[in-house]
Amino acid sequence: MYNHKPPVLWQFTLFNLILLVLLGAWLWQKNQPVIVSDAILPVDAAAKVQCVSYAPYYGKDQTPFKIGTHITQSQIDADLERIAKVSNCVRIYSVGQGLDYVPAAAQKLGLKVLVGAWIGWTAADNNKEINLATALANQYPNTVKAVIVGNEVLLRGEQTEEAMQAYIARAKQLTKVPVTYADVWEFWLNHRNLEQSVDFVTIHLLPYWENNPQSVEQSIQHANIVMNKLDTAFSKPILIGETGWPSTGRQRGTSIPSALNQARYIRTFLREAEQKHWQYNLIEAFDQPWKRGLEGAVGGFWGIYDTDLSPKFNLTGPVFDRHDGIMPVLFAAIGAFILCAVTFVVGQKQVPSYIGMAILGALAGVTSLLQLEYLGALCGDGSLFGALSCVPTAGRPLASVIMGLQWLSMGGAVLAAWLMLLSLPVLIYQQSAQAVRFVKLMVVLLLVGALAIGLLLTVDGRYRDFPVMIYALPVLQFSLGLWLAKTPLRFTNPVSLVLGVGALTTALVCYLIEPLNYNAAYWLGILVLFTVPLLFKKQ
């Protein structure tokens, strides 16, 4: 049954054309060079950064949590050779899993090392780390700058201040190399007695993770405020043991992860550190995918190199927020071809129909690229299956049923969105009862997913991302596109209304919790658009 007049179709087509142009303009802007102030580095240090954290777990399935993990000497040699081009020093956090080879490898390259002894719950393991770390310091006294006994142990609550004092004292008995302890700067202010135990104070200064997250524009001012407080509170030298910015992940308040902001922060920080004579260590050399299981997507993207070992930016010259190349055009072409093929199958012969579906397909194709990118950053492994099967594990442990619902809100929602978009030519041009029922089912699945992720964001949202990119296009098509196309879709099911109102309520709560987070505002807007059509029994 073909009862559409061309003007009606052109309204639908124009709507999608506007969306495609806006999305294309956004991608174009993100791919343009941005002028950022160059970093200033000391000439006598061969224009390299002072120090950078090194963890070798960037490869597929590499994680320190896997029993039996052992990093090969060949990988460490290759990694340090790469790091030596940009840094004079590396910081390691443990001497287990093959990392005891780092001082030997660093010595060959002229790198200095901050050797870490990992302190956790178990005394036997802690003493083993201290014994090996101090032995390495004694074996390589000209390479090991210091032994760092424990990393954010007080923050995690795994040891008391008194216990840490004892561990530090034991390390100092075993080596003449300087010994310190590393923790977030607030915890040092709360445990000032530790200063008497260490040779220098090692603090972590991470504007993104502050209780009051800092924008990249305010981050250096914040760093100066913190350093002034610490200079007043402590008499011993201070090392900024961790500072940096994530290139991807969840926005926190006004703190926005991006490749551009990472370059801005690190370059500006290096300028400030050179002028203020701060001692520092950047976090970190390589992206760490395994950290996404602890901190959400953002945990995996603090490296100055990505997992392909490519630098994300230079310390001088223009910076690019994205490097898309021809991929958006390729995905747009594939999307346009697929929806035109579906239009042909349903028997349409009018040119405006193909134009409209080609535009919608191009829009869906580019959006699919961004959706897969989002899922891949969240917990994927670089493959299509890995992205679509992604279930984030950061946050509190979840029951298997809730894990399933969370998948429905991520990879499942993407599949539902794709199937819904593929069915639109059938719904619009044939208006069959089967197409109506199918689209309704996809909408219900999207509502369930939106409610599930909304509840998780409300009660446990610190490490969870707002899935704006996943839901934006299907919701826009459901709420506005199908209305412009005059489809016979009606929602009178109270279950759908309950799901919609529930999801909208959680989105409102999330926005009230984080009013400065524009992703929370976008998510609220999406849920408003999703819920409003459910309130009307008519079209």
Q: Which residues contact 348 (CB under 8 A, 6 or more apart)?
A: 2, 354, 425, 429
Alpha helices in 85-152 (DSSP H): 102-109, 123-139
- pLDDT score for 406: 82
The DSSP line for 305-351 is B-TTS-BS--SSS-EES---TTHHHHHHHHHHHHHHHHHHHTT---H
Which of 264, 255, 244 has its CA nearest to residue 314?
264
Which amino acid, 39? A
Question: Could you give phi then psi for residue 110, rounded to 5 degrees?
Answer: 80, 15
CA–CA dist 364, 476 (Å, integer): 12
Beta bridge partners, 320, equal 33
CA angle 80, 83, 84 (to 5 degrees): 85
Whether the upstream peptide bond of residue 274 has omega within 30° of 0, thus cis, is no
More confident residue, 373 or 350: 373
**Nearest residue to 425 (alpha-carbon basis) of 333, 471, 358:** 358
Amino acid found at 150? G
Which of 314-323, 394-403, 407-416, 503-512 is predicted with the least confidence, judged by mean pLDDT? Answer: 394-403
Core vs surface per residue 287-324: b (16+ CB within 10 A) or e: bbbbbbbebbbbbbbbbbbbbeeeebbebeeebbbbeb
- Per-residue confidence at 538, pLDDT binned at 50, 70, 90? low
Q: How far apart are CA 155 and CA 364, in angstroms?
A: 44
Which pLDDT score is estimated for 228? 98
**Token couple for 33:** 């060079």
Produce one character per residue of 65-83: b if its CB has 16 or more CB atoms within 10 Å, e if not.
eeeeeebeeebbbebbeeb
Find the radius of gyration of the CA atoms of the chain: 27
DSSP E strands in 198-312: the ranges are: 201-204, 238-243, 279-282
The model's pLDDT over 230-257, given as tens digits with 9 standing for 90+, comes to 999 999 999 999 999 999 999 999 999 9
Q: pTM of whole model > 0.85?
A: yes
| pLDDT, the chain, mean | 93
Measure the CA–CA gap between 471 and 442, rounded to whole angstroms. Answer: 12
Q: Give the model confidence (pLDDT) of 263-315 as tens digits.
A: 999 999 999 999 999 999 999 999 999 999 899 999 999 999 999 999 999 99
pLDDT score recorded for residue 414: 94
CA–CA separation, 501 and 512 (whole Å): 16
For the cut 50, the answer to whether the pLDDT of residue 5 exceeds it is: no
User: What pLDDT, on a 0 to 100 scale, did the predictor assign at position 537?
Assistant: 57
Backbone angles phi, psi at 319, to 5 degrees: -125, 145
Residue 350's pLDDT band, with cuts at 50, 70 and 90, is confident
The C-alpha atoms of residue 511 and residue 302 are separated, in whole angstroms, by 26
pLDDT of residue 393: 72
The domains found in the chain, sorted by start residue, are: 6-29+323-535 (no CATH), 39-320 (3.20.20.80)
